[in-house]
Structure 1
Amino acid sequence: MNRPIRTLSVGCLILFVALMLNVTYVQFFKAGWYNARGDNRRVTEEAYSQQRGDILVGKKAIATSVPSDDKYEWQRTYPGGKKYAPITGFMSYSYGQTGIERSQDSVLSGKDNKLFTNRLVDLVTNSEPAGGNVELTINPKVQDAAYEGLTNLGDDVQAAVVAIEPSTGAILAMASTPTFNPDRLATHDFSDAQKSYNQLRKDEDEPLLNRSIQTALPPGSTFKLVTAAAAIENLGMDGDSKVYGGATLDLPGTDKVLPNHSGTDCGGEQVTLTQALDVSCNTAFGFLGMELSDEEMQDQAEAFGFGQDYLDDIGPLAVSQYPDNGGDKAKQARAAIGQESVIATPLQMAMVSAGIANGGEVMKPYLVDRVTSSSLDVIDQGKPTTIDKQPAVSQDTAETLTDMMVSVVENGTGSPAAIDGVSVAGKTGTAQTTPERPPYAWFTSFAPAENPSIAVAVMVQKSGTERSDIAGGLLGGPIAKAMMEAAIS
């Protein structure tokens, strides 16, 4: 072989090897990156050309695909509508996916490795490929009560509720308002989808936000459960222990005082811890916040889930926080009553109640119960796990807190959540914000107190309620009551 031919042959070989290496790199190493690109229309059009799996609550599909008479073959629809929109999210040609549609996309699209055998069978039998189904932990009766409770608050409301099964962490209800119609974003009329999306994005009330997990606000007096837990665990207290209950509490290092909401004392200069929780005594819990170290309070909050990202099935999750107060006693007092820089999601406050209800063990919340193939074979099953190896509080502490929370409903601020013939444990909260905006109303509870099957948290961020009438028990108590009744009926 002469030199020019040899040089040309080597050059062609190098080009061929380079081409094969590039193809291998693109097809194997970069395939996931290209598939995940939002502007990769081939992937999107492929998703619309095959039947996507259902999202189910019980046996009812709240998201499904139906044949389409246009080139995309399948239209995603949402029978669950606005009630379930914060959970399902949406699947849009132009705007991608959110909610369960996003987190469970590999299953719903049929691309998950768990469905490999099904894809192989479809290939061999020349059947149309179909995605797997996702069955949720939601209890439809509890979800109905949650959504109805929120809508009954009126128009121009920002609020959310979450319910958990204490013994497993299974999410029984998750509702947020305002909400949206996912069908309008999934439509194949892309100009209408764009118009709807732009309207939703510009809406100051943020209807696309799932407030139950994506909004973290000061939890107010519901956080006193965490402070009470820390006091019992670290200071050797119980429900009969005496605490300061004066009308105001001096804040060290400042010329300010921490007052009670009523402007009066909590029943005397000294009251029991149970009485302090009954009337939601700011001075008592502010005092306890100064008695406890910042580290003890942080550890207790984290044991209930603060500072952790513990939700895998849907997201993103706003992480609840208890701040490092740097040893500032005035800040510690305000943080102990759920103010200062303390923030929590409704899910987090439901977990506090659920942890107490479950004897101190805080279970990791989950929303996906089962994954099945298109032929209904079970591919995966949700498994209850704790968020930590150690309980948040001891069994004895949990029992003491439960007794105290029952007293809140029977004798204190939580009376709107009382259920005839059922022992209910609860705690109210009203978090102050700024003089320009109304307070946040909170309520958290569980029932039946002696054998809990549901723990609830309600957060009302904004409503048409007069400022003087905003209270966690008045706004959140009836909603929680209806949800607990639905669960135990």
Structure 2
Amino acid sequence: MNKPIRAVSIFSLALFVALMVNVTYIQFWKAEDYNTDPANARAAEASFARERGLILVGQDPVARSKPVDDQYKYLRVYPKPFQYAPITGYLQLGSQTGIERSQNAILSGEDPRLFVNRLVDLLQGDSNQGGNVVLTINQRAQRIAYEMLQETVGPEGEGSVVAIEPKTGRILAMVSLPTYDPNELASHNAAERTKAYDRLEADESEPLLNRAIQTRLFPGSTFKVVTAAAAIENGLYTIDDNVPSGASYQLPGTTGEQNVVDNEGRYLCNSEEISFATAMAQSCNTAFAKMAVELGPEKMRATAEAFGFNSDYLLDLPGQAQSVYPKSVTDVIDGEEQPPRELNDAETARTGFGQFDVQSTPLQMAMVAAAIGNRGTLMRPYVVEEVQTADYQTLETTDPDELRPAISPETAAQVTELMVDTVDAGTASPAAIPGVDVAGKTGTAQRGIAGAPPYGWFISFAPAGNAQVAVAVMIQEAPGKEIAGGQLGGPIAKAVMEAVMEK
């Protein structure tokens, strides 16, 4: 063989080998990624041509597929769209969100655990059916949370409610307002689907956002339970001690009225020393600001992170935003960013009552309440109870997962007592349930914008001695109403707790 022919032969062989390597890579290593990619229109069209599995709450479907006479054969239908949209998400040609996305392999029938079912369907000549996903949601609690939040914030309001079972981490309710109708986005009419999506995407109130896990706001005074836990856990105070307070507090190293912390007229906070119980029950800003400074930013941060701040923990619902206790501060001097530094005393003081750069999702504050109610142990939150075959045979059940001890049982017991006093004789009284010890804390967080209304928060759990449910309520906007965490959030939390406990 002469040299030119040999060169051409070797080049052709190299091309053939490269082709085989590429085909092998695509068919064996990347096939699953391509099949599950929401942007894969061919895979999406194929999934529309089979009966997708149910998303169930109890025995009731909140998402199902019905046969239709068009090219896709099945249309996704959401029987209770507005209540459950933030959880189910939507199924659209080429994209999914929420449970429709995270559990797509089961719902579409592509999950390896459904291989035998697919084989049986093939041998019998039946079309392949997707499996079912059962949610942890308590139907009654979800309905009550949705209806009461809607009534509280009004048609143009914004807010969220999350309820958790403290001992397991099961999410019992998750509501976000404003919400949307996923049936519009599931339409097989491309023009209608696009129009609906563009309208929702352009809406300044962001109805497609799941505020329970994707919106971070200042948690305000609800964060005082974290500060209290840090103080007790680190041996700074016990609930029998007096703590420094005062009518006002000039933040360390600062001057000017804008750097003065006060108690917003709560006169029982004004003494230079008050009982720890009074500080919590009356939500004394000066007391918790001074407490945070005594602890220092490292201990404050460590306790916040033990409760879940600065980390991801929700595995079965996409889109979780990390809640934040600031790790550092970056100053800008003469237009230039300086190296990151630790929080100073003034900044740390503001974190003590949930301001400065502390940011939290409603789910995170529900986890704080749940961990305290679970004797200090933080459980991973989850919303998928089990996955099933199309004929309701259980494939897998989610086991509760302990993340870590956030605080000791002894600390949790003391913080619980403080929170019970706050419901019995303090700012959280709107959540009181006759015959039940309820632990709670209000929060009214300033936005940092002059003239803007605050955010309203409320966290609670009950029964205090053996918690069955922990709740976080966040009021982001309530046009026409004076926002106060206790007055607006307390009754919602009470009703949701009663729904779970069937009071």
- Which interval holds the TM-score relative to the shorter structure? over 0.9
1:347-372 deviations in whole A, cap 9, x for unaligned?
00001110000000010000000001
1:250 to partner: Cα distance: 1.9
1:220-263 deviations in whole A, cap 9, x for unaligned?
00000000001111134222210122110121110132111216
- The residue correspondences of 1:55-74 to structure 2 (distance < 5 A) are 55-74=55-74
Equivalents in 2 of 1:5, 1:435: separation in Å?
81
Equivalents in 1 of 2:29, 2:81: separation in Å?
39
Task: Supply the AA of the counterpart residue of 2:181.
Answer: N
1:30 to partner: Cα distance: 3.1
Task: Supply the AA of the counterpart residue of 2:197.
Answer: Y
Q: 1:248 to 1:5 in 2, by over 3 A?
A: closer
Q: Secondary structure at the match of 2:195?
A: helix
Q: 1:392 to 1:40 in 2, by over 3 A?
A: closer
Counterpart of 2:394 (choices 378, 401, 405) is: 378
8 A Cα contact 2:266 2:284, kept in partner: no
Task: Supply the AA of the counterpart residue of 2:277.
Answer: T
Partner of 2:253: 253
When the two structures are superposed, what TM-score results if normalisation uses the length of structure 1? Answer: 0.95
Q: 1:393 to 1:33 in 2, by over 3 A?
A: closer
Q: Secondary structure at the match of 1:152?
A: helix
1:186-217 deviations in whole A, cap 9, x for unaligned?
01111111111000000000000000000011
1:396 to partner: Cα distance: 1.2
Partner of 1:99: 98
Equivalents in 1 of 2:151, 2:309: separation in Å?
31
8 A Cα contact 1:248 1:265, kept in partner: no
Please tell me whether residue 428 in structure 1 is matched to residue 442 in structure 2: yes
Please tell me whether residue 117 in structure 1 is matched to residue 119 in structure 2: no
Q: 1:8 to 1:237 in 2, by over 3 A?
A: closer
Deviates more, 1:25-34 or 1:362-371: 25-34
Structure 2 unpaired stretches of 5+: 329-341
Partner of 1:462: 477
Equivalents in 1 of 2:141, 2:457: separation in Å?
18
Equivalents in 2 of 1:464, 1:180: separation in Å?
19
Equivalents in 2 of 1:18, 1:351: separation in Å?
52
Please tell me whether residue 476 in structure 1 is matched to residue 489 in structure 2: yes
8 A Cα contact 1:245 1:265, kept in partner: no
Equivalents in 2 of 1:238, 1:281: separation in Å?
17
Q: 1:7 to 1:283 in 2, by over 3 A?
A: closer
8 A Cα contact 1:442 1:459, kept in partner: yes
Partner of 2:298: 295
Counterpart of 2:381 (choices 358, 361, 365) is: 365
8 A Cα contact 1:247 1:283, kept in partner: yes
Partner of 2:419: 405
Deviates more, 1:415-424 or 1:130-139: 415-424
Equivalents in 1 of 2:254, 2:268: separation in Å?
21
Equivalents in 1 of 2:208, 2:450: separation in Å?
27
Task: Supply the AA of the counterpart residue of 1:483.
Answer: V
1:269 to partner: Cα distance: 2.4
- The residue correspondences of 1:313-462 to structure 2 (distance < 5 A) are 313-324=316-327, 326-388=342-404, 391-433=405-447, 434-462=449-477
Q: 1:251 to 1:43 in 2, by over 3 A?
A: same
Deviates more, 1:430-439 or 1:19-28: 19-28
1:126 to partner: Cα distance: 2.5
Q: 1:7 to 1:363 in 2, by over 3 A?
A: closer
Q: 1:25 to 1:394 in 2, by over 3 A?
A: closer
Equivalents in 1 of 2:427, 2:487: separation in Å?
9
Partner of 1:208: 208
| Aligned Cα root-mean-square deviation (Å) | 2.0
8 A Cα contact 2:268 2:282, kept in partner: no
Identity of aligned residues (%): 52
8 A Cα contact 2:38 2:96, kept in partner: no
1:370-418 deviations in whole A, cap 9, x for unaligned?
0011122211111111122xx1111111111111111111100011111
1:438-476 deviations in whole A, cap 9, x for unaligned?
10000000011121100000000111144xx32100110
1:10 to partner: Cα distance: 7.3
Equivalents in 1 of 2:40, 2:229: separation in Å?
51
Partner of 2:280: 277
Please tell me whether residue 167 in structure 1 is matched to residue 167 in structure 2: yes
Q: 1:128 to 1:36 in 2, by over 3 A?
A: closer
- The aligned length equals 484
1:69-99 deviations in whole A, cap 9, x for unaligned?
11100100101211000000000115x1000
Q: Secondary structure at the match of 1:163?
A: strand
8 A Cα contact 1:213 1:315, kept in partner: no
Task: Supply the AA of the counterpart residue of 2:220.
Answer: G
- The residue correspondences of 1:182-197 to structure 2 (distance < 5 A) are 182-197=182-197
Q: 1:175 to 1:301 in 2, by over 3 A?
A: same
8 A Cα contact 2:247 2:270, kept in partner: no
Partner of 2:500: 487
Equivalents in 2 of 1:223, 1:8: separation in Å?
73
Please tell me whether residue 311 in structure 1 is matched to residue 314 in structure 2: yes
Q: 1:406 to 1:23 in 2, by over 3 A?
A: same
8 A Cα contact 2:171 2:381, kept in partner: yes
Partner of 2:338: none
Q: 1:21 to 1:486 in 2, by over 3 A?
A: same
Structure 1 unpaired stretches of 5+: none
Partner of 2:332: none
8 A Cα contact 1:162 1:175, kept in partner: yes
Equivalents in 2 of 1:271, 1:11: separation in Å?
86
- The residue correspondences of 1:41-80 to structure 2 (distance < 5 A) are 41-80=41-80
